[in-house]
Amino acid sequence: MKTFNVPVAYRSPLITAIKQKRKQEDKMKKNLSPTLLDFGPLQLYLARHFGFCYGVENAIEIAFRTVDENPGKRIFLLSEMIHNPFVNEDLKARGVEFMMDTYGKQLIPFKSLGADDIVIIPAFGTTLAIEKSLRERGIQIEKYNTTCPFVEKVWNRSNQIAAKGYSIIVHGKPSHEETRATFSHSAAEAPTVVVNDMKETIELGKYITGEKPAEDFYTEFRGRFSEEFNVTKDLQRIGVVNQTTMLASDTQAIADYLKQVIATYYDLNDKTISARFADTRDTLCYATTDNQGAVSGMLEQNADLAIVIGGRNSSNTSHLVELCEEVLPTWFIRSEADLFTAETILHFDWRRKTESVHHNYLPAKYPVRILITSGASCPDAMVEAVIKKLHSFFPDARNYDEVIDEWSK
């Protein structure tokens, strides 16, 4: 896979050495067991896959290069480039301004833009309406477009099934930038509706079978369906695509559920189902699949707790937290700064969107075994900073450099 030029401050020599060694030993990515850093009283298990993905590195390279190559120009990011507060702050510190917040609220009006300005499209992509607005002001969006190719792959997949006459069901978080972009691109080609989860999918199924009156759909799914969506006609042939960072098992369950509803209602079997249900498989990206798979591998360890590092509005990070939480106590932190002391931690509850301080998160036992992973927009340097801070809480731990040297050989 292509390598990118990202600021060295985001890299970690330790993590790079570990990732390279694991890759050389397991090119086909079959071994999902974590990497053990054995400090004696502290045993850290690093997930087989974590951290920056292709799309994030690509976006960071383009954004920082754009800043370097355009001194004196006004440079805007359409919204957060990736969901990592530290990377976004770095860009702001270099003079980059954000035009919208992560929910699409306009911070700087498009009308203030001129043809000399640069607007960088984030890795999530953007809507056709925004692309049009930017073009109308003479902005060259192609030149500074960091839309991830794996997001574009989803758009292409939905276009393909749209061309065959299927409506599109998008499994995603309705307010997430990527889902808004995918909805926009899909809605231009086919009737489209967004579902957030299985609960909503079950309700959608009731409109397929007529169990719920059609007119209720327009209230229940307000803001989630394309213009002129006809619930009676447009749910007869469907295909499911997803926001690339959703939980793989959730998307599969949603697709399986809708397929079953259609099969039962229209009396179709495995051979005839394709007439009304497009086989999209899942449209998750490789990084989501790898990182979620690596968490499953990591969870086979008999650990005491898990620490997941990433931005609080990062969808893929919250899903890693969700997977860990099913098995053991899990702490969602942004960086080592949230590890206040060996006794207290600042944890983010991604479901309630609240933070809270917790005490005694490290058990009083020997050794303490901790699973560590991070989201696709979290720099490896931040993971190493967490490792170092945890190490500092164990005065009897083996020498840090000694353990690191074992990996750097």
Non-local CB neighbours of 379 within 8 Å, separated by 6+ positions = 9, 10, 11, 12, 51, 52, 84, 86, 87
Query: Applying CB under 6 A, which part among 50-58, 198-206, 222-230, 344-352 lies near ligand SF4?
Result: 50-58
Interface with ligand SF4, residue 148, by CB under 6 A = yes
Name the residue nearer to ligand SF4 (CB basis): 66 or 167: 66
Q: Is 178 a catalytic residue?
A: yes
Interface with ligand SF4, residue 287, by CB under 6 A = yes
99 vs 151: CA distance, rounded Å: 21
Q: Which of residues 288-347 bind ligand SF4 (CB under 6 A)?
A: 288, 316
**Least spacing, CB of residue 92 vs ligand SF4, in Å:** 20
Interface with ligand SF4, residue 373, by CB under 6 A = no
Q: Which of 60, 121, 285, 298 binds ligand SF4 (CB under 6 A)?
A: 285
**Least spacing, CB of residue 376 vs ligand SF4, in Å:** 4
Q: Which of 81, 298, 376, 382 binds ligand SF4 (CB under 6 A)?
A: 376
Instruction: Determine the residue type at 21.
Output: K
Rg (CA), the chain: 23
Instruction: Determine the residue type at 198.
Output: M
Name the residue nearer to ligand SF4 (CB basis): 3 or 219: 3
Interface with ligand SF4, residue 208, by CB under 6 A = no
Backbone angles phi, psi at 357, to 5 degrees: -90, 130
49 vs 63: CA distance, rounded Å: 25
Task: Give the residue nearest to ligand SF4 (CB).
Answer: 55
Name the residue nearer to ligand SF4 (CB basis): 376 or 404: 376
**Least spacing, CB of residue 375 vs ligand SF4, in Å:** 9
Q: How many residues bind ligand SF4 (CB under 6 A)?
A: 15
Q: Per the residue annotation, which of 131, 178, 322, 384 is the catalytic one?
A: 178
**Least spacing, CB of residue 284 vs ligand SF4, in Å:** 8
Name the residue nearer to ligand SF4 (CB basis): 261 or 376: 376
With 0-12 / 13-18 / 19 or more C-beta atoms within 10 angstroms meaning exposed / middle / buried, residue 114 is exposed
Total count of residues recorded for the chain: 409
With 0-12 / 13-18 / 19 or more C-beta atoms within 10 angstroms meaning exposed / middle / buried, residue 355 is middle
**Least spacing, CB of residue 107 vs ligand SF4, in Å:** 22
Alpha helix segments (H runs only) across 53-210: 54-69, 85-93, 128-136, 149-163, 177-187, 198-208
**Least spacing, CB of residue 122 vs ligand SF4, in Å:** 9
Beta bridge pairs of residue 37: 44
> Could you tell me which of 255, 224, 247, 248 has the C-alpha nearest to residue 350?
247
Helix (H, G, I), strand (E, B) or coil at 319: helix
Q: Which of 14, 44, 77, 151 binds ligand SF4 (CB under 6 A)?
A: 151
**Least spacing, CB of residue 247 vs ligand SF4, in Å:** 13
Show the tokens assigned to 99. 């035009």
143 vs 264: CA distance, rounded Å: 48
Interface with ligand SF4, residue 53, by CB under 6 A = yes
Token match 């050794």: residue?
Answer: 367
Name the residue nearer to ligand SF4 (CB basis): 148 or 241: 148
Query: Applying CB under 6 A, which part among 125-133, 143-151, 183-191, 232-240 lies near ligand SF4?
Result: 143-151
Binding mask of the shown chain, residues 110 to 139, with x at each position contacting ligand SF4 by CB under 6 A: -------------x----------------
Name the residue nearer to ligand SF4 (CB basis): 127 or 288: 288
Backbone angles phi, psi at 396, to 5 degrees: -90, 5
Q: What is the DSSP letter of 172?
A: S
Non-local CB neighbours of 62 within 8 Å, separated by 6+ positions = 120, 144, 146
**Least spacing, CB of residue 257 vs ligand SF4, in Å:** 24
| H helix count then E strand count, the chain | 13, 14
Interface with ligand SF4, residue 55, by CB under 6 A = yes
280 vs 395: CA distance, rounded Å: 53
- Give CA 388 to chain center in angstroms: 26
Q: Which of 66, 145, 184, 244 binds ligand SF4 (CB under 6 A)?
A: 244
* Residues at the contact surface with ligand SF4, assessed by CB under 6 A: 53-56, 123, 148, 150-151, 244-245, 285, 287-288, 316, 376
Catalytic residues: 178
